[in-house]
Amino acid sequence: MARFSGKVAVVTGSSNGIGRATAILLASEGAKVTITGRDSERLEETRQAVLKAGVQEANVNSVVADITTSKGQDLIISSTLKKFGQINILINNAGANLPDASGNTRSNCTIENLQKMLQLNLQSVVEMTQKTRPHLGKTRGEIVNISSIGAGPSAQPQSVYYSTAKAALDQYSRCTAIDLISEGIRINVVQPGLVSTGFSTAARGLSADDSLKFYNSMGELPHCIPAGYCGQPEHLASVIAFLADRKASEYIVGQTIIADGGTSLVLGMHSVFGGKK
Ligand SMILES: NC(=O)c1ccc[n+]([C@@H]2O[C@H](COP(=O)([O-])OP(=O)(O)OC[C@H]3O[C@@H](n4cnc5c(N)ncnc54)[C@H](OP(=O)(O)O)[C@@H]3O)[C@@H](O)[C@H]2O)c1
């Protein structure tokens, strides 16, 4: 039997990148999935990719919604329950580092931008957790929150509010994991490093081509990514699926797995000392 057979998963931010790869993986391993994002065309690309992986049309629920709105959150949850009758897995993946009106993402960013970053990267996760809690309690379900190595402990001056929101998300996840495990709900976190997705298009306004060049070039710098290549969405999807799979990871509660090709273990001074002899 497929490992997610009989499970219903909601994957936010699945119209692109890591969320799309996660939805494809969970669905191809037996889950019924709700895919969601604001961009209907990209969401349809995800739906087609899931079907191409051999999943039956009846096992995919596609919902165009803004995760930062109460209406959008309610629609994602109600349509999942209407179509599939239950929720077993919630992947809180939607997130972004968005510049303010002047293109800033550093410490001089506007307060409006701070609020926007907190609303998307923290508050929407809190709200989705609160709203799905009764349903996940019934199924003894799993939540996986997608954070970032930007959460620390190293400084991220190029993305101050985004990184601050992700750090808050990590602590929220730890605290809530302990609260909810008594109801049978398990929460864990994945912190990706650099992953070749639409993230840099949203964060830095790069074209798809320039974004790809950026990720590939970063992968060639061992002092940035020791693994020697930039992460692909599928590398993250398999880690997320591991934490969403109770049989594989049931005794892991409130923990954070870093999947970054070694990036967060490298210090600038290592490049001065050079590679191995
Ligand atoms: N790529 C990286 O290097 C990296 C590194 C660390 C952490 N992460 C984290 O990984 C997660 C996935 O990002 P990604 O790299 O896969 O980037 P991506 O390709 O840009 O995907 C982001 C997804 O989030 C959705 N999203 C953004 N704002 C939304 C909103 N207001 N309402 C609904 N959906 C929204 C987007 O959908 P729509 O645009 O259709 O709304 C898209 O599906 C994020 O939480 C990000 O912070 C990424």
Contacts (Cβ under 8 Å, ≥6 apart) of 150 = 97, 156, 159, 162, 163, 166
The parts of the chain modelled with pLDDT lower than 70 are: 277
Local structure of residue 159 (DSSP, 8 states):
S
Residue located nearest, by CA, to atom 2 of ligand 1: 195
Instruction: Report how far residue 137's alpha carbon sits from residue 114's, in angstroms, rounded to the nearest whole number.
Output: 32
Mapping DSSP to helix (H, G, I), strand (E, B) and coil, where does residue 32 land?
Answer: strand
Residue 159: predicted pLDDT = 95
CA neighbor of 79 nearest in space, from 62, 67, 94, 93: 62
CA 273 to ligand 1 center in whole angstroms: 36
CA 90 to ligand 1 center in whole angstroms: 15
Residue 240: predicted pLDDT = 99
Instruction: Report how far residue 126's alpha carbon sits from residue 133's, in angstroms, rounded to the nearest whole number.
Output: 10
**Which ligand 1 atom lies nearest to the CA of residue 68?**
31
CB 168 within 8 A of CB 234: no
pLDDT tens-digit profile of 29-44? 999 999 999 999 999 9
Reported pTM: 0.98
Residue 270: predicted pLDDT = 86
Backbone angles phi, psi at 182, to 5 degrees: -70, -15
Residue 67: predicted pLDDT = 98
**Which ligand 1 atom lies nearest to the CA of residue 215?**
3
CA 222 to ligand 1 center in whole angstroms: 26
**Ligand 1 pocket residue status of 120, Cβ below 6 Å:** yes
Q: Any idea how long the chain is? A: 277
* Domains in the chain, CATH or no CATH each: 8-196+232-263 (3.40.50.720)
Q: Where are the alpha helices (DSSP H) in 65-159?
A: 70-84, 111-118, 124-139
Residue 277: predicted pLDDT = 67
**Ligand 1 pocket residue status of 88, Cβ below 6 Å:** no
Backbone angles phi, psi at 195, to 5 degrees: -135, 135
Instruction: Report how far residue 249's alpha carbon sits from residue 80's, in angstroms, rounded to the nearest whole number.
Output: 25
